[in-house]
Structure formats: C-alpha cells, structure tokens
C-alpha cells in the first residue's frame, strides 16, 4: 500500500514538474532538453516506470495505467509546444501585445523652397494663372536673343553664364519660358513658371550658383500697368500678410518697357528699418514691366493688338525673409537639423 501510494505521488509530481517545464521553455532547443529529461531513454519517466515491477501484484495494473496516462499527457504537452515553435507566425502572434505603444515613423516634409514655390503657385492659380514649364538646358536664343538681350549685354558674359555646346546654356532666368509659351499659344496667355536657374556666381550668404525663380506673364487685349500692380499687390498680401505695402521703382530689363523693380515693405521690422532691409524699410522682391514690343515681334504677336506684363522673382529670397534665414547656402546643404525646422513654420508665418 505504502509503496503504491508513494509511486502514485511520485508519478504526480513528475507530471506537474514536466508540464510546468514544458510551459516555460522559450525555444525548440530548450523544449528538446525537457523532452530528454522526462521522456528520454534514461529520463525520469523511464526510471519511474522501472519501479512498477516492485509494486504488489494487485496494484500493478492500476499503477501501470496511471503511468501511461501521465506519459501520454506529457507527450501531448511536448507535441503542442513543438508545433508552436515550428509555426513562426503563430508564435509571434502569440507574443504580439496590442497594449504596447506604436513605433513612430519619421514624417517627410517639403523643403522650404518647394513650400514657397507651391504657395506662390497656389495664390496666382486662384488669380487665373496656369503653370508653364521649360527645360533647365535652354537655347541661347530663348534665354537671351528672343528676350531682346543684345549680344554685348553683361549678363551674357561667359564669366556669368554656364554655356554648353551647340548654342545651349543652363538658363540664367525663368524668362525663356515666356518665349516658349508665346511660341506655342496665341493670346490670351496667363502663366507662371517656377523653376531652377543657374549663374556663375561664387557662393556666399546671398549668392548661389543655382537658385529658383517664379516667372509670370499675362498677355491679352488692353493689359496695363495697373493690372501688374494689382496682381503684385494681391500676391504680396497673401504671401506676407494683409499689412504689407508695395512700391515700384523705375528700372531696366531688355524684355520689358517700361521696367520696374517691385519692393515689399519690410515684414521683418514692419518698415521701420532693420538689418534685413538694410535700414531702408523696403525689400527688393521682383523685377517686372510691360512686355517689350520687340519680344512680341520675335514670337509673332502683333504689338499693336496685344499688350502684356511680366515679372520674375527669386524664391530663395522670399523663403529667407519669411523664415529669417540669413545664409542662402543653408537651403542647399540639406542638413536635417536645419530642414526639419520647416515642417509647420511656413503656415504659422502667414499672419
Ligand atoms: N529675369 C529677370 C532676372 O532674372 C527678372 C525679371 C524681370 C523677369 C522683369 C521678368 C521681368 O519677367 O518682366 O533678373
């Protein structure tokens, strides 16, 4: 009796220990070690079973059946864990904890130059301007000759312009898009052309060999200087805020007559004078004017029938003013610590 009881007790603790061990294993190797310990040829199950013969004869069948049940239970437990480890998806699913915080992903943002170009495009689109495009590699004809720029004009100097073979160059301005547009379309024409330009400038705080402009062109019957002023004034208010003032100063460009330079009142100091506006209270923003009749002749428009205005402005300069950036080179170095500052700032700056 005693012997039998202790056999059953031992069997029972073997069962509990084996099942507990099966539950705690974390990989297939540990599982195999548990199997060998309990079910192996020299394992604990075998050693318990070997003592069956020492039991009183009448207790043997009952004890033997009990031992077989325990052995089967341990074997099933082993089999279940084995399947778990050979099914990788199921095992990771079992470990997935939905209460853990999510892993955050870095969010991309537009470069400040692109933000400003998009904003100008959006404002002028609402005024009826379509977006036109031209190549960075232009013909000398489109970049200079068709824009009424004489052969001895200083901007044509090879020290200032990147010339390429076969009458081509890296465009020095977005103005050649005016020519392409007028050659392809009859008036009315109302386009803007944002894009990259190139000049042989030595980089410093305000110069870069590559930069961006937005060109504007409006040609129709009876387009006047007042239309130009109204368009620039509206653009200024939407870009810089409702209190900004504009002024026009007489200037010269080969492709416009009369030509002006457009200034915005300084949005940094409000017009009272600061370093950014060089204590003048005004910021030079755009070149503009009424399209020169000679340009119309080059593209086959009748200057007696049509008039038009054009303007061109530097995008970097506007971005620098809006964001208080004091060195244009920062815009091209792509230092993430600098660029990351412009995720939300552009919209905050509009007030
Ligand atoms: N293309 C000129 C520049 O790069 C800017 C400009 C001035 C564009 C007057 C125009 C314009 O369309 O009418 O300095």
| Spacing, Cα 312 to ligand 1 middle (Å) | 4
Q: Is 314 in the pocket of ligand 1 (CB under 6 A)?
A: no
Nearest to residue 255, comparing CAs of 344, 176, 154?
176
Q: What is the mean pLDDT of residues 222-228?
A: 98
Would you say residue 5 has pLDDT above 80?
A: no
Averaged pLDDT score across all residues of the chain: 91
Environment class of 222 (CB within 10 Å of its CB; exposed 0-12, middle 13-18, buried 19+):
exposed
pLDDT at 91: 53
Quick one: which of 285, 271, 278, 280 has its CA closest to 318?
Answer: 285
Ligand 1 atom at minimal distance to the Cα of residue 178: 12
Looking at residue 84, its pLDDT comes to 84
**Average of pLDDT values for 236-246?**
93
pLDDT confidence tier of residue 6, bands split at 50, 70 and 90: confident
Contact 132, 191 (CB under 8 A): yes
Domain with CATH 3.30.930.10 in the chain: 112-350
Task: State the Cα–Cα distance between residues 164 and 278, nearest whole angstrom.
Answer: 37
Q: Stretch 320-342: mean pLDDT, rounded?
A: 90
Can you read off the two tokens belonging to residue 306? 């049509």
312 lines ligand 1 (CB under 6 A): yes
pLDDT tens digits along 253-291: 999 999 999 999 998 888 888 888 889 999 999 999 999
**Cα(236)–Cα(245) distance, integer angstroms:** 8
**Element housing 66 (H / E):** helix 60-86
What is the structure's pLDDT at 1? 45
Confidence of residue 344 (pLDDT cuts 50, 70, 90): low
Mean pLDDT value across residues 47-53: 87
Ligand 1 centroid distance, CA of 217 (Å): 10
Q: What is the pLDDT of residues 113-127, one digit of tens each?
A: 999 999 999 999 999
- Confidence bin at 348 (pLDDT 50/70/90): low
Distance (Å) from CA 1 to ligand 1 centroid: 111
Q: What is the mean pLDDT of residues 142-169?
A: 97
Q: Provide the b/e sequence for 250-285 (b: ≥16 CB within 10 Å).
A: eeebbbbeebbbbbbbbbeeebeeeeebeeebbbbb
Q: Tell whether ligand 1 has an atom less than 6 A from the beta carbon of residue 195.
A: no
128 in Cβ contact with 218 (< 8 Å): no
Q: Mean pLDDT over residues 41-67, rounded?
A: 89
Structure tokens at 291: 């399209």
What interhelical angle do 112-126 and 225-240 show, nearest 10?
130
Q: Residue 217: is its pLDDT beyond 90?
A: yes
Residue 18: both structure tokens together: 């084996």
Evaluate if residue 351 carries a pLDDT over 50. no
Q: What percent of the chain has pLDDT over 90?
A: 65
Q: Which CATH number fits domain 112-350: 3.30.930.10, 3.30.9.10, 3.40.50.920, 3.40.50.2300?
A: 3.30.930.10
The pLDDT of 219-234, averaged and rounded, is 98
What is the reported pLDDT for 89? Answer: 58
How would you class 8 by CB atoms within 10 Å of its CB: exposed for 0-12, middle for 13-18, buried for 19 or more? middle
**Residue with more model confidence, 289 or 82:** 289
Please state, for a pLDDT cut of 70, what percent of the chain lies above it. Answer: 95
pLDDT given for residue 350 in this prediction: 45
Helix (H, G, I), strand (E, B) or coil at 26: coil
Closest-CA residue, ligand 1 atom 10, reads: 311
The CA distance from 56 to 6, in Å, is: 13
């Amino acid at each position: 009796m005693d012997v039998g009881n202790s056999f059953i007790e031992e069997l029972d603790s073997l069962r509990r220990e084996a099942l507990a061990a099966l539950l705690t294993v974390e990989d297939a190797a540990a599982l195999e070690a548990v199997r060998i310990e309990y079910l192996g040829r020299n394992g604990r199950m075998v050693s318990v079973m070997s003592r069956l013969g020492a039991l009183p004869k009448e207790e043997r069948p009952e004890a033997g059946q009990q031992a077989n049940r325990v052995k089967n239970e341990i074997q099933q437990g082993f089999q279940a864990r084995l399947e778990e480890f050979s099914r990788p998806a199921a095992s990771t699913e079992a470990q997935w904890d939905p209460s853990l915080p999510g892993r955050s992903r870095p969010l991309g943002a537009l470069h400040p130059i692109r933000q400003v170009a998009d904003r100008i495009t959006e404002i002028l689109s609402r005024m009826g301007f379509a977006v036109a495009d031209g190549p960075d590699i232009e013909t000398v004809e489109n970049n200079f000759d068709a824009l009424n720029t004489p052969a001895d004009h200083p901007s044509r100097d090879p020290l200032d312009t990147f010339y390429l073979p076969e009458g081509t160059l890296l465009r020095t301005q977005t103005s050649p898009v005016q020519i392409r547009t007028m050659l392809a379309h009859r008036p009315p024409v109302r386009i803007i052309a944002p894009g990259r330009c190139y000049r042989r400038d030595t980089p410093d705080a305000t110069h870069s060999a590559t930069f961006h402009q937005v060109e504007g062109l409006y040609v129709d019957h009876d387009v006047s200087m007042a239309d130009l002023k109204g368009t620039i004034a509206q653009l200024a208010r939407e870009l810089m805020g409702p209190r900004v003032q504009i002024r026009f100063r007489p200037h010269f460009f080969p492709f416009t007559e009369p030509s002006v330079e457009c200034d915005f009142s300084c949005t940094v100091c409000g017009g009272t004078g600061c370093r950014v506006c060089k204590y003048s209270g005004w910021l030079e923003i755009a070149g503009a004017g009424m399209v020169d009749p000679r340009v119309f002749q080059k593209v086959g428009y009748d200057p007696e029938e049509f008039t038009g205005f054009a303007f061109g402005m530097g995008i970097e300069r506007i971005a620098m003013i809006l964001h208080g950036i004091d060195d244009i080179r920062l815009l091209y170095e792509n230092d993430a610590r600098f660029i990351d500052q412009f995720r939300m700032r552009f919209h905050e700056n509009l007030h």
